[in-house]
Chain A
Amino acid sequence: MKLYNGPQIIVGLVIFLAIFTYPLWSGGGKAAPVPEPQKVPKTVATSCVTDTQYMRLSHMKLLNDWRDEVVRDGDRIYVAANGKAFNMSLSNTCFKCHTSKVKFCDQCHTYLAVDPFCWDCHLAPKEKK
């Protein structure tokens, strides 16, 4: 069997494989740094609207529920299990404590390559330099 244009094909294949496998070897065998969303100082708030574990896993579900309850039912006050009341609003409540989208939301969203479209409409607080 004869390989026509052998050198060009082999060089092309090597280049193709190099580009194709770039995501695998570019990290140098190390995992990407674990995201570290900014912690809210204890002086601002000591707890979120519900437990941290739930917020970490299912904040999107909570926000979806809030959205439907506020827009469609007009229920705008959320009374947490510990009796504390919150105004159900991303811009007016969540961002009061989590003051930076870049240092909080984007940390995990970028790491997990998810791109929620919340901020197409909802205004994030101005990032402090």
Chain B
Amino acid sequence: MGVDRRQFLKLAGISAALGLGGSVGFQLLKPGALDAAERMPTPYQMVFPKSQGNSEVMPNPKALKGRRWGMVIDMRKLTADKARAAIQACHYYHNVPDIPGKQTIKWIWLANYANVFPEVENPFADPEIKNAAFITMCNHCDNPPCVRVCPTKATFQREDGVVMMDMHRCIGCRFCMAGCPYGSRSFNFRDPRPFIKKEYPLYPTRTKGVVEKCTFCTERLAVGKLPACAEASEGAMVFGDVDDAGSELRKLLRTRYSIRRKPNLGTRPQVYYLV
């Protein structure tokens, strides 16, 4: 004999009642019991109890504070010398290797107008713009696709908008490289150390199998310095707070015409080009 309608409804009712034994039931009968269970020390915490007395951690008081960091690149001021200085400074301070060919590592690099702004490509544009070498880097998008696709949260967005990499968590899956529409991310196909011309001892290198990119110099912001490229470019690259209407960056954006890379994709890039 199969189950008739009456039996089926009974069974369904009993199952639903038993379902109260799940987390819902706990919340109803003993509120807060589950939260307490979640606060139990993890095995890791039991093996390594926190016994460092009354130590505490805090940000460096000298750190630059901003609600939403961004950068303006003034193409009228950006001469070849300044661009070179900015790139060299960045690569030196971050131990960026110089690997030729397809395995190259890019933090900040030069590209031409047609490649940087493909949707506004125009064969008859002002030759000064069309032939200019645009400096390109991570756009630190407000809506970063790389962060959405990262399976380990190795790349994440800080509260001040900087899209950061936690190299310790990167598993090298390269989803972020597929997600980034700007080609701002590079994979370490091999140990980069032999390709670093001059090691900067105070910043780590990377290792084989992780993805890296520009970090808006978070390590420099944390001690009150501007990003290395902004400092080296002598005013051609202006770093500042996009959310602060009084900042120099916002003044430039108000008074000059600026464009962004591929805004139609909805990533809301925070690197602005004054053309």
Contact = CB atoms under 8 A, between A and B. Distances in A.
Interface in B190-221: 199, 201-208, 218
Given A54-B52, A58-B48, A123 B57 contact: no
Main secondary structure of the interface of A (DSSP, over half): mixed
A75 B204 contact: no
Interface string B143-177: 00000000000001010000010111000000000
Contact of B59 (A60, A67, A75, A91): A75
Contacts of A62: 52
B95 to A, nearest CB: 8
Contacts of B56: 78-79
B15 interface: no
B51 interface: yes
B58 A80 contact: no
B133 interface: no
Interface stretch (A16-24, A100-108, A114-122): A114-122
Main secondary structure of the interface of B (DSSP, over half): loop
Please indicate which of the listed interface residues A50, A72, A87 has the most CB atoms of chain B within 10 Å of its own CB: A72
Interface residues of A, number: 31
Nearest to B165: A71
A74 B52 contact: no
Interface in A18-76: 49-51, 54, 58, 60-62, 67, 69, 71-76
A67 B57 CA distance: 12
Contacts of A75: 57-59
Contacts of B218: 74
B32 interface: no
B83 to A, nearest CB: 28
A117 B207 contact: yes
Nearest to A58: B48
Contacts of A88: 57
A71 B164 contact: yes
25 contacts: A50-B52, A50-B53, A54-B52, A60-B48, A61-B48, A67-B168, A73-B57, A74-B59, A74-B158, A75-B57, A76-B63, A77-B57, A77-B60, A77-B61, A78-B56, A78-B57, A79-B55, A79-B58, A80-B55, A91-B201, A121-B204, A121-B205, A123-B95, A123-B201, A123-B204
Interface of A: 49-51, 54, 58, 60-62, 67, 69, 71-81, 87-88, 91-92, 117, 120-123, 125
